[in-house]
Structure 1
Amino acid sequence: MPAQKNSLRDRLARSREINISVTGRKSGRTISNPVWFVSDDEKLYLLPARGSDTQWYKNVLKKPVIRIKAGGAEAEFKVVSVTDAKHVSPVIDRFRAKYGDSGLKLYAKLDVAVIAKMQ
Protein backbone atom coordinates (compact mmCIF):
# COMPACT_ATOMS: atom_id res chain seq x y z
CA MET A 1 0.00 0.00 0.00
CA PRO A 2 1.31 3.48 -0.80
CA ALA A 3 2.65 5.51 2.13
CA GLN A 4 -0.10 8.09 1.55
CA LYS A 5 -2.80 5.52 2.35
CA ASN A 6 -0.88 4.23 5.39
CA SER A 7 -0.77 7.79 6.72
CA LEU A 8 -4.50 8.09 6.08
CA ARG A 9 -5.13 4.87 8.03
CA ASP A 10 -3.23 6.30 10.99
CA ARG A 11 -5.33 9.47 10.86
CA LEU A 12 -8.56 7.50 10.51
CA ALA A 13 -7.72 5.59 13.68
CA ARG A 14 -7.68 8.91 15.56
CA SER A 15 -10.70 10.56 13.89
CA ARG A 16 -14.44 10.58 14.52
CA GLU A 17 -15.25 12.57 11.39
CA ILE A 18 -13.69 12.86 7.94
CA ASN A 19 -14.21 15.05 4.92
CA ILE A 20 -15.23 13.39 1.67
CA SER A 21 -15.24 14.98 -1.77
CA VAL A 22 -17.37 13.70 -4.64
CA THR A 23 -18.06 14.87 -8.17
CA GLY A 24 -21.46 16.48 -8.65
CA ARG A 25 -23.57 14.32 -10.93
CA LYS A 26 -25.10 17.34 -12.67
CA SER A 27 -22.56 20.12 -12.20
CA GLY A 28 -19.34 18.10 -12.46
CA ARG A 29 -17.96 20.23 -9.61
CA THR A 30 -16.16 18.86 -6.58
CA ILE A 31 -18.46 18.82 -3.55
CA SER A 32 -17.12 18.24 -0.03
CA ASN A 33 -18.98 17.10 3.07
CA PRO A 34 -18.02 16.13 6.62
CA VAL A 35 -19.21 12.60 7.44
CA TRP A 36 -18.95 9.99 10.14
CA PHE A 37 -17.30 6.70 9.24
CA VAL A 38 -16.02 3.41 10.54
CA SER A 39 -13.01 1.52 9.24
CA ASP A 40 -10.95 -1.58 9.65
CA ASP A 41 -7.62 -2.57 8.09
CA GLU A 42 -9.15 -3.13 4.68
CA LYS A 43 -12.30 -1.03 4.29
CA LEU A 44 -13.86 2.32 5.05
CA TYR A 45 -17.63 2.27 5.68
CA LEU A 46 -19.97 5.23 5.21
CA LEU A 47 -23.66 5.65 6.00
CA PRO A 48 -25.33 8.54 4.18
CA ALA A 49 -27.28 10.58 6.78
CA ARG A 50 -30.44 10.60 4.66
CA GLY A 51 -29.83 7.16 3.20
CA SER A 52 -30.50 6.84 -0.53
CA ASP A 53 -31.89 10.41 -0.54
CA THR A 54 -28.49 11.89 0.43
CA GLN A 55 -27.05 14.08 -2.32
CA TRP A 56 -23.43 12.89 -2.00
CA TYR A 57 -24.70 9.31 -2.20
CA LYS A 58 -26.56 10.08 -5.44
CA ASN A 59 -23.34 11.59 -6.77
CA VAL A 60 -21.27 8.45 -6.06
CA LEU A 61 -23.85 6.37 -7.89
CA LYS A 62 -22.97 8.38 -11.00
CA LYS A 63 -19.20 8.46 -10.36
CA PRO A 64 -18.14 5.88 -7.73
CA VAL A 65 -15.02 7.66 -6.52
CA ILE A 66 -14.49 9.64 -3.32
CA ARG A 67 -11.57 11.66 -2.00
CA ILE A 68 -11.08 11.31 1.74
CA LYS A 69 -9.33 13.81 4.02
CA ALA A 70 -8.55 13.03 7.65
CA GLY A 71 -6.16 14.99 9.84
CA GLY A 72 -4.16 16.36 6.91
CA ALA A 73 -3.85 13.05 5.06
CA GLU A 74 -5.89 12.34 1.96
CA ALA A 75 -6.45 9.66 -0.65
CA GLU A 76 -8.85 8.75 -3.41
CA PHE A 77 -10.82 5.50 -3.49
CA LYS A 78 -13.27 3.71 -5.69
CA VAL A 79 -16.44 2.92 -3.77
CA VAL A 80 -19.26 0.42 -3.93
CA SER A 81 -22.85 1.17 -3.02
CA VAL A 82 -24.54 -1.42 -0.81
CA THR A 83 -28.33 -1.61 -0.95
CA ASP A 84 -29.11 -5.12 0.28
CA ALA A 85 -30.38 -4.89 3.87
CA LYS A 86 -28.41 -7.97 4.96
CA HIS A 87 -25.18 -6.19 3.94
CA VAL A 88 -26.19 -2.73 5.19
CA SER A 89 -27.08 -4.09 8.64
CA PRO A 90 -23.49 -4.99 9.65
CA VAL A 91 -22.39 -1.45 8.67
CA ILE A 92 -25.14 -0.02 10.89
CA ASP A 93 -23.89 -2.25 13.72
CA ARG A 94 -20.35 -0.91 13.27
CA PHE A 95 -21.67 2.67 13.42
CA ARG A 96 -23.67 1.85 16.56
CA ALA A 97 -20.53 0.46 18.21
CA LYS A 98 -18.56 3.64 17.42
CA TYR A 99 -21.19 6.39 17.78
CA GLY A 100 -23.85 4.77 19.98
CA ASP A 101 -27.62 4.61 19.58
CA SER A 102 -27.87 8.38 20.07
CA GLY A 103 -25.55 8.91 17.10
CA LEU A 104 -27.60 6.63 14.88
CA LYS A 105 -30.74 8.60 15.74
CA LEU A 106 -29.27 11.44 13.67
CA TYR A 107 -29.64 9.31 10.54
CA ALA A 108 -33.01 9.83 8.86
CA LYS A 109 -32.85 6.67 6.76
CA LEU A 110 -30.60 3.61 6.96
CA ASP A 111 -31.25 1.88 3.65
CA VAL A 112 -27.81 2.09 1.99
CA ALA A 113 -24.10 2.11 2.78
CA VAL A 114 -20.96 2.97 0.84
CA ILE A 115 -17.76 0.94 1.13
CA ALA A 116 -14.26 1.88 -0.01
CA LYS A 117 -11.49 -0.73 -0.15
CA MET A 118 -8.32 0.75 1.34
CA GLN A 119 -5.84 -1.49 -0.48
Structure 2
Amino acid sequence: MTSWNPADLAAIDADGELHVAAHRPDGTLRTPRIVWHVVVDDALYLRSVRGTDGAWYRGVQRTGTGEIDAGGVRSEVTFTRDDAHDDAIDRAYHAKYGGGSAVQAITSPAATATTLRVEPR
Protein backbone atom coordinates (compact mmCIF):
# COMPACT_ATOMS: atom_id res chain seq x y z
CA MET A 1 0.00 0.00 0.00
CA THR A 2 1.41 3.38 -1.07
CA SER A 3 0.73 6.48 0.99
CA TRP A 4 -0.22 9.92 -0.23
CA ASN A 5 2.27 12.74 0.06
CA PRO A 6 0.73 14.85 2.86
CA ALA A 7 0.78 18.05 0.77
CA ASP A 8 -0.93 16.31 -2.16
CA LEU A 9 -3.55 14.76 0.10
CA ALA A 10 -4.27 18.13 1.71
CA ALA A 11 -4.65 19.75 -1.73
CA ILE A 12 -7.00 16.99 -2.89
CA ASP A 13 -9.01 17.23 0.32
CA ALA A 14 -9.36 21.01 0.02
CA ASP A 15 -10.97 20.69 -3.41
CA GLY A 16 -14.75 20.25 -3.44
CA GLU A 17 -14.84 17.99 -6.47
CA LEU A 18 -12.61 15.26 -7.80
CA HIS A 19 -12.42 13.93 -11.36
CA VAL A 20 -12.16 10.16 -11.52
CA ALA A 21 -11.56 7.99 -14.58
CA ALA A 22 -11.21 4.22 -14.50
CA HIS A 23 -8.83 2.32 -16.73
CA ARG A 24 -10.43 0.12 -19.33
CA PRO A 25 -9.05 -3.43 -19.66
CA ASP A 26 -6.90 -2.18 -22.58
CA GLY A 27 -5.32 0.48 -20.31
CA THR A 28 -7.03 3.53 -21.81
CA LEU A 29 -9.00 5.84 -19.53
CA ARG A 30 -12.76 6.12 -19.44
CA THR A 31 -14.36 9.56 -19.54
CA PRO A 32 -13.69 11.37 -16.24
CA ARG A 33 -16.63 11.90 -13.89
CA ILE A 34 -16.95 14.40 -11.07
CA VAL A 35 -17.44 12.88 -7.61
CA TRP A 36 -17.32 14.03 -4.02
CA HIS A 37 -14.48 12.76 -1.87
CA VAL A 38 -13.34 12.85 1.73
CA VAL A 39 -10.18 12.16 3.69
CA VAL A 40 -10.37 10.09 6.88
CA ASP A 41 -7.30 9.02 8.87
CA ASP A 42 -4.94 10.14 6.07
CA ALA A 43 -6.76 8.04 3.47
CA LEU A 44 -8.80 9.23 0.48
CA TYR A 45 -12.30 7.81 -0.01
CA LEU A 46 -14.89 7.97 -2.79
CA ARG A 47 -18.44 6.71 -3.11
CA SER A 48 -20.87 6.40 -5.97
CA VAL A 49 -23.99 8.47 -5.28
CA ARG A 50 -25.84 6.09 -7.63
CA GLY A 51 -24.61 3.03 -5.76
CA THR A 52 -23.43 0.10 -7.85
CA ASP A 53 -25.35 1.51 -10.85
CA GLY A 54 -22.90 4.43 -11.20
CA ALA A 55 -21.06 4.14 -14.52
CA TRP A 56 -17.70 5.30 -13.12
CA TYR A 57 -18.03 2.83 -10.24
CA ARG A 58 -18.75 -0.08 -12.59
CA GLY A 59 -15.66 0.88 -14.60
CA VAL A 60 -13.51 0.95 -11.49
CA GLN A 61 -14.79 -2.49 -10.49
CA ARG A 62 -13.52 -3.95 -13.77
CA THR A 63 -9.87 -2.99 -13.39
CA GLY A 64 -9.36 -1.53 -9.91
CA THR A 65 -7.16 1.20 -11.36
CA GLY A 66 -7.55 4.63 -12.87
CA GLU A 67 -6.69 8.28 -12.50
CA ILE A 68 -7.88 11.10 -10.27
CA ASP A 69 -7.49 14.85 -10.60
CA ALA A 70 -8.28 17.30 -7.78
CA GLY A 71 -6.63 20.24 -6.08
CA GLY A 72 -3.98 20.48 -8.80
CA VAL A 73 -2.94 16.87 -8.17
CA ARG A 74 -3.29 14.32 -10.97
CA SER A 75 -2.39 10.76 -10.02
CA GLU A 76 -2.61 7.20 -11.23
CA VAL A 77 -4.41 5.27 -8.49
CA THR A 78 -5.77 1.98 -7.28
CA PHE A 79 -9.26 1.55 -5.85
CA THR A 80 -9.98 -0.87 -3.01
CA ARG A 81 -13.37 -1.60 -1.48
CA ASP A 82 -13.18 -0.56 2.18
CA ASP A 83 -16.11 -0.54 4.59
CA ALA A 84 -14.04 -0.39 7.76
CA HIS A 85 -14.53 3.35 8.28
CA ASP A 86 -18.07 3.96 7.00
CA ASP A 87 -19.29 5.88 10.06
CA ALA A 88 -16.27 8.20 10.02
CA ILE A 89 -16.64 8.66 6.25
CA ASP A 90 -20.32 9.58 6.71
CA ARG A 91 -19.30 12.19 9.29
CA ALA A 92 -16.61 13.51 6.96
CA TYR A 93 -19.10 13.90 4.10
CA HIS A 94 -21.45 15.82 6.41
CA ALA A 95 -18.63 18.03 7.69
CA LYS A 96 -17.31 18.81 4.21
CA TYR A 97 -20.52 19.12 2.20
CA GLY A 98 -23.27 19.90 4.73
CA GLY A 99 -26.56 18.16 5.36
CA GLY A 100 -28.50 18.63 2.12
CA SER A 101 -30.15 16.02 -0.05
CA ALA A 102 -26.93 15.31 -1.97
CA VAL A 103 -25.15 14.43 1.28
CA GLN A 104 -28.09 12.27 2.31
CA ALA A 105 -27.66 10.41 -0.99
CA ILE A 106 -23.88 9.95 -0.64
CA THR A 107 -24.35 8.60 2.90
CA SER A 108 -27.26 6.30 1.97
CA PRO A 109 -26.90 2.52 2.28
CA ALA A 110 -26.67 2.18 -1.53
CA ALA A 111 -23.80 4.66 -1.73
CA THR A 112 -22.10 3.34 1.40
CA ALA A 113 -21.96 -0.08 -0.27
CA THR A 114 -19.56 1.46 -2.82
CA THR A 115 -16.99 3.01 -0.47
CA LEU A 116 -13.56 2.90 -2.10
CA ARG A 117 -10.17 3.75 -0.62
CA VAL A 118 -8.02 5.46 -3.26
CA GLU A 119 -4.24 5.08 -3.17
CA PRO A 120 -1.52 6.42 -5.44
CA ARG A 121 0.26 3.94 -7.70
Question: TM-score scaled to structure 1, two decimals?
Answer: 0.74
2:56 aligned counterpart, secondary structure: helix
Q: 1:42, CA displacement in angstroms?
A: 2.9
TM superposition shift of 1:17: 0.7
AA of the residue aligned to 1:101: G
Greater strand proportion? 1
Unaligned runs of 5+ in 1: none
DSSP-derived class of the 1:115 partner: strand
Name stretches of at least 5 consecutive residues in structure 2 with no aligned partner: none
Shift in CA distance, 13/21, structure 1 to aligned 2, threshold 3 Å: same
- Taking the aligned partners of 2:35 and 2:76, their CA distance within structure 1 comes to 15
Is the Cα contact below 8 Å between 1:61 and 1:81 reproduced in 2? no
Number of residue pairs the alignment of both structures matches: 116
CA RMSD of aligned residues (A): 3.2
Question: Deviation of residue 18 (structure 1)?
Answer: 1.2
Aligned partner of 1:115 in structure 2 is 117
- Describe the shift of the 1:71–1:98 C-alpha distance in structure 2 as closer, same or farther (beyond 3 A): closer
Q: How does 1:91-110 map to 2 (within 5 A)?
A: 91-102=89-100, 103-107=102-106, 109-110=110-111
Q: Report the CA distance shift for 1:57/1:13 in structure 2 as closer, same or farther (over 3 A).
A: closer
The SS at the match of 1:49 is: coil
Superposition deviation, residue 10 in structure 1: 3.7
Q: Percent of pairs identical after alignment?
A: 22
Moved over 6 A (4+): none
- Which residue, out of 60, 85, 88, partners 2:86? 88
